[in-house]
């Protein structure tokens, strides 16, 4: 199928793009990698009258790593994050998780801003950013605002982005020493969107007990789901597999995923427990090495 007719603009500066959004309002749509938007336009699920292609706005394409955090511009491609040695050094979760996004062709075009703005509940980036305590910065002609993932993701494919805003960057704090990460997912075929995915971070104290831990699931609700009930029980304890398993078994009572053509609610719950255990165990083992 082909998309409905639209007008096309290709600004080279952020300010120009924001002016276009002000001018065209709800008739306009931002296009970055086009990997989700263009298929939706081809299927006529999206019919913007005006397409604002931000691919030429070079100021949105960067990765900056400092002692305190990572900042990634909205137009940065998935593969750039995947291949960044600096990111691998300070935040290996991102490196591991980016490899799970679709196929290399998708990752060569898809962008950080597009993936986060699209807000698919089984996408890897929203789950990783929630695990990492990232913030998301949006710009409009009125100024900028920075949101936590909890404030940003509202429900399935829905965020707080206003029609005059562009996602310009994400910021990720650097975790303390002895922090390990892991992400894993269940897919029907390699490269598919996940049925369920889980990501975890575990920070160990010098005595080997858990100082802090985070566990986030995707594919169980409209937004990434943090399971503090599970990780709170790990704090102060030695994270051996038997204890992690004991803590994760309560997940069956904590999540209530919708059934769909791919999986029943019960099957998804089982996957949640299996993958939660797996990522927490791996994150704890990796924390020892860092
Ligand atoms: C075959 C296939 C498999 C895939 N598998 C996966 C997968 O396993 N995991 C996964 O996470 N994704 C997957 N994707 C989606 C892919 O990651 C997309 O790149 C991503 O969802 C959208 O990014 P994009 O840059 O292509 O955005 P676009 O398609 O250009 O835009 C998507 C939406 O975000 C809006 N938008 C884009 N950029 C901005 C911005 N800077 N500010 C505000 N709004 C913006 C657009 O208006 C649109 O509504 C897959 C896609 C395909 C085609």
pLDDT per residue rounded down to tens, the chain (290 residues) = 789 999 999 999 999 999 999 999 999 999 999 999 999 999 999 999 999 999 999 999 999 999 899 999 999 999 999 999 999 999 999 999 999 999 999 999 999 999 999 999 999 999 999 999 999 999 999 999 999 999 999 999 999 999 999 999 999 999 999 999 999 999 999 889 999 999 999 999 999 999 999 999 999 999 999 999 999 999 999 999 999 999 999 999 999 999 999 999 999 999 999 999 999 999 999 998 76
Q: Which residues contact 12 (CB under 8 A, 6 or more apart)?
A: 56, 57, 58
- Are residues 64 and 136 located together in one domain of the fold? yes
Pair (135, 238) in one structural domain: no
Q: Would the CB of 124 count as within 6 Å of ligand 1?
A: yes
- Within a domain: 82: yes
Strand 69-73 versus strand 166-173 pairing type: antiparallel
Q: Do 26 and 104 have their domain in common?
A: no
Instruction: State whether 163 and 194 are in the same domain.
Output: no
Q: How many folded domains does the chain comprise?
A: 3
DSSP 37-102: HHHHHHTTS---SEEEE-TT-GGG--EEE-SSEEEEETT-BHHHHHH-HHHHHH-HHHHHHHTTSS
Query: DSSP code of 262?
Result: S
Domain annotation covers residue 1: no
Q: Locate tokens 């089982």: which residue?
A: 270
Consecutive H or E run containing 112: helix 112-118
Tell which atom from ligand 1 comes closest to the C-alpha of 77.
25
User: Rounded distance, CA 172 to CA 130, Å?
Assistant: 10
CB 74 near ligand 1, within 6 Å: yes
Do residues 213 and 141 share a domain?
Answer: no
Cα 90 to averaged position of ligand 1 atoms, centre (Å)? 25
Q: Are residues 80 and 136 in the same domain?
A: yes
pTM value > 0.95: yes
Q: Which atom of ligand 1 is nearest to the CA of 167?
A: 42
The CB density around residue 210, as the number of other CB atoms within 10 Å, is: 23
- Which helix (DSSP H) or strand (DSSP E) does residue 290 occupy? none
| Residues of the domain holding 103 | 58-173
Residue 52 structure tokens: 């604002």
Q: 64 and 139: one domain?
A: yes
Same domain, 93 and 109: yes
pLDDT in tens, 251-282: 999 999 999 999 999 999 999 999 999 999 99
Q: What is the CATH number of the domain that holds 147?
A: 3.30.465.10
In a domain, residue 144? The reply is yes
Residue 202: give its domain's CATH number: 3.30.390.50
Verify whether ligand 1 is closer than 6 Å to residue 61 (CB atom).
Answer: no
Q: Are residues 64 and 135 in the same domain?
A: yes
Residue nearest to atom 48 of ligand 1 (CA): 37
Q: If you count them, how many residues does the chain have?
A: 290
Half-sphere exposure of 248 (CA within 13 A, CB side): 26
- Shared domain for 35 and 131, answered yes or no, is no
Domain final residue, candidates 139, 173, 207: 173
Query: What is the atom index within ligand 1 of the atom nearest the CA of 187?
Result: 8
* Tokens (6 digits) for 250: 């309560």
């Amino acid at each position: 199928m082909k998309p409905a007719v639209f007008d096309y603009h290709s600004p080279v500066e952020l300010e120009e793009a924001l002016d276009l959004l002000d001018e065209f309002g709800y008739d306009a749509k931002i296009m970055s990698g086009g990997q989700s938007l263009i298929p939706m336009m081809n299927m006529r699920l999206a019919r913007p009258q005006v397409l604002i292609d931000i691919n030429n706005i070079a100021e949105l394409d960067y990765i900056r790593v400092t002692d305190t955090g990572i900042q990634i511009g909205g137009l940065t491609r998935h593969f750039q994050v995947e291949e960044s040695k600096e990111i691998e050094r300070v935040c290996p979760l991102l490196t591991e998780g980016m490899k799970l996004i679709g196929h290399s062709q998708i990752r060569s075009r898809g962008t950080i801003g597009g993936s986060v703005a699209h807000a698919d509940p089984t996408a890897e980036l929203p789950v990783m950013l929630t695990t990492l305590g990232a913030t998301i910065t949006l710009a409009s002609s009125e100024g900028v605002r920075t949101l936590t993932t909890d404030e940003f993701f509202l429900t399935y494919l829905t965020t707080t982005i206003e029609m005059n805003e562009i996602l310009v960057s994400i910021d990720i704090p650097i975790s303390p020493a002895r922090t390990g990460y892991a992400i894993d997912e269940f897919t029907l075929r390699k490269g598919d969107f996940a049925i369920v995915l889980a990501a975890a971070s575990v920070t160990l104290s010098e005595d080997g007990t858990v100082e802090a831990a985070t566990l986030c699931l995707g594919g169980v609700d409209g937004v990434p789901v943090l399971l503090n009930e599970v990780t709170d029980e790990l704090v102060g304890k030695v994270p051996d597999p038997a204890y992690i398993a004991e803590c994760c078994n309560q997940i069956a009572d904590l999540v209530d995923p919708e059934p769909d053509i791919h999986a029943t609610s019960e099957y998804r719950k089982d996957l949640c427990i299996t993958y939660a255990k797996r990522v927490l165990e791996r994150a704890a083992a990796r924390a020892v090495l860092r």
